A and B are shown apart, each in its own frame.
Chain A
Amino acid sequence: MSEMNMAQALNDALDTALAADDRVVILGEDVGRTGGVFRVTDGLQERYGATRVIDTPVAESGIVGAALGMAVAGLRPVAEIQFLGFAYPAVDQIISHVGRIRNRSNHRFTAPLVVRIPFGGGIGAAEHHSESSEAIFAHTPGIKVVVPATPADAKGLLLSAIADPDPVVFLEPIRVYRAIKEEVPAGQHTVPIGEAKVVREGSDVSLVSYGAVLRDAGRAADALADDGVSAEIIDLRTLSPLDHQAVIHSARKTGRVVVAVESHRTASIASEVAAIVQEGALYSLLAPVERVTGWDTVVPLKRTEHHYIPGPDRIVAAARRALEG
């Protein structure tokens, strides 16, 4: 155990995987010598060499395509894309090939690869550096979509992703990278994919979230507690396959659900959670499901970014609306 931030915990996971399994390789832009834009792969090329920690050209389709070929041919590649906004040239590979190769080959091929992508706002660089388009991937069959919210989960989920027989899009919340530290277990620490986590038990309202917004859900729950409202917090952790039972269980228990995400609103994970709740807990609901989301606009420059990303205030307001029924 040692105290780590999320970037360090991810680095530790990659280090652990590289040491344990020589099929694991890392590839991406500037991941080697520089350690990637967020330094998540810092020092790994020094330890494992340039044949296993590979600096590639700027060519996302090339990177993910190569990762798929490596995976099909026996390796366990972990590709890094610099920002979610730069993943779109690779979306063709991810949707058309990565997610389908098992099915289309009648199960002859598998694609045990991970595509790590920093996402979400927080560095104030607008648009491509701040996107939260995880719904695109969650919508796509054949790939798992994982979003850690804490350092220990980041390590555990990444090691699970690397070991997973199916492809995983692993989204790392940029503004959490260095924001919090916690104890992270050493060595082969895994957290199962597909399981949400009850971060805080409560009885009046369920706050469902993931990634960077989870911290704001925590702040919102604190504010609500000051007013005597007991909020339960669910960290989804995996967006696909999404843990329906955890969401439904909590909804039945509290009767009120606020789902808070940073992405655009329309056809978002928030929409999906609302649908799951009405399918599984309609008769327990005391209020309509509240969606707290980013807007259906372009993620703006830094000066107005705080109006875009939902903070604790908007979560608290939504919870109050739900409590008023």
Chain B
Amino acid sequence: MSTEAFEPELMDYSRRQPRLPEPVIEGNDALDIPLDERMEMYRLQQELRQFEKRAYDLFMQNLVKGTSHLSLGMEAVATGFGRALRPDDYSFATYRGHAHTLARGAPMGPVMAELLGRSNGILGGKGGSMHLASVEHGMMGSYAIIGAHLCIANGAGWSAQLRGTEQVAVVFFGDGTTNIGAFHEALNFAKIWELPVVFVCENNLYMEYTPIDLVTAVEHPAADRATAYGLEPILVDGNDADAVYDVAQGVIETARRGEGPSLVEAVTYRHGGHSRADPGKYRPPGEVEAWLDRDPIITYHQRLLRLGVPEGDLTRIAQDVARRVDEATEFAKAGPVPDEGDLMTDMWADGGSAWRN
């Protein structure tokens, strides 16, 4: 092909219109959520935010090795669902799973230590940032292969169904994930057997560096696919913890009653880049700023003030969380680094790896 006459047709992302957030729905102030629950949600969002900011600082100090994916800006989703789950319910997350792990009650210190790859980490330094899990807290793992864990969550839900335990499995994934086959396979399975599984798409508008609308056939990557699997389209403001909590309670109860799966699309935004190495420069001017103004924690703070909570109470919560994040950091930094021997453990049921090494 002669390139001279050829006018390349470009995907010029920088000339794209920014995708701006919807305004806060003040009417959500009136949702039927007790104030003490709201205070817990405020505390949890503070934890997720401050923990994640600290994780970022630790990367910058080169204490977290490898890569990591933060969910700064997306705290309301983990909070709304985390608070709506029963302690014995299951949750499944992606590599962007710090918040979902903490939201189930996993202790900050060992989670932080895991990010640092230390032996006192929640998985002994074998999982790391992308594979957090805590069986005791129903957090059934973080999965770094796009789509795979939706199918796995079905299995956990199926087990609960067969055992008659009324446990529910909730699985979180991104907008990009709605385009891989496993997403479609999983929804079909869940609907055929009416599995107690809640699929939660955290639509942060980007699949890595690519705006999701450029690579998706429909406007709402998850909600617009729901009817294909006999499900209701459910869209929720993913930057409002109350809105998420409200929806979460409904769909979790539906699943618990044996009335089958749901698919929820929570629209949100990540403040930072996709992963540690990504400055996020592909986002059109004005977009990040607009979403920073619609920060879920600011939104929630303002709601609580409107509901009459004294500013001082909120400050105290934030300060208490800050202290606990400091403690977690100290715990993590003090942990030993795994040695060569640790590499050789836990391959097989006998705890070792001897017969093939």
Which residues of A line the B interface, CB within 8 A? 19, 21-22, 29-30, 32-34, 45-51, 55-62, 85-86, 88-89, 123-129, 265-266, 295-298, 300-304, 307-308
Contact = CB atoms under 8 A, between A and B. Distances in A.
A296 B181 contact: no
B353 A89 contact: no
B96 to A, nearest CB: 14
Contact of A19 (B3, B11, B66, B340): B3
A300 B210 CA distance: 29
The size bracket of the interface on B is 35 or more
A128 B11 CA distance: 29
A87 to B, nearest CB: 10
Contacts of A298: 126, 347
Q: From DSSP, what is the main secondary structure of chain B's interface residues? A: loop
A302 B66 contact: yes
B3 to A, nearest CB: 6
Q: From DSSP, what is the main secondary structure of chain A's interface residues? A: loop
Contact of B210 (A34, A129, A295, A304): A34
B109 interface: no
Given A33-B209, A303-B337, A127 B343 contact: no
B20 interface: no
Contacts of B65: 124, 301-303
Contact of A295 (B144, B339, B357): B357
Contact of A57 (B10, B66, B179): B179
B6 A127 contact: no
Contacts of B209: 30, 33-34
A55 B11 contact: yes
Contacts of B235: none
20 contacts: A30-B208, A30-B209, A33-B11, A33-B13, A33-B209, A48-B6, A49-B8, A55-B214, A57-B215, A59-B181, A62-B180, A86-B145, A89-B181, A123-B66, A265-B357, A295-B357, A301-B126, A302-B66, A302-B117, A304-B342
Contact of A58 (B130, B179, B342): B179
B11 A125 contact: no
Interface string B255-284: 000000000000000000000000000100
Nearest to B339: A304
A161 B215 CA distance: 28
B207 interface: yes
A65 to B, nearest CB: 10
Nearest to B207: A58
Contacts, number: 142
A124 B62 CA distance: 12
B210 A296 contact: no
A48 B3 contact: yes
A58 B126 contact: no
Nearest to B143: A128
B207 A49 contact: no
Interface string B316-357: 000000000000000000000111101110010000010011
A122 to B, nearest CB: 11
Contact of B216 (A57, A129, A302): A57
B116 to A, nearest CB: 9
A316 to B, nearest CB: 18
B3 A295 contact: no
Contact of B1 (A21, A59, A295, A301): A21
Contact of A303 (B13, B67, B117): B117
A268 B145 CA distance: 24
Nearest to B353: A297
B8 A55 contact: no
A263 B131 CA distance: 22
A297 B9 CA distance: 46
A271 to B, nearest CB: 12
Contacts of A45: 8, 10-11
A61 B181 contact: yes
B218 to A, nearest CB: 12
B146 interface: yes
B342 A46 contact: no
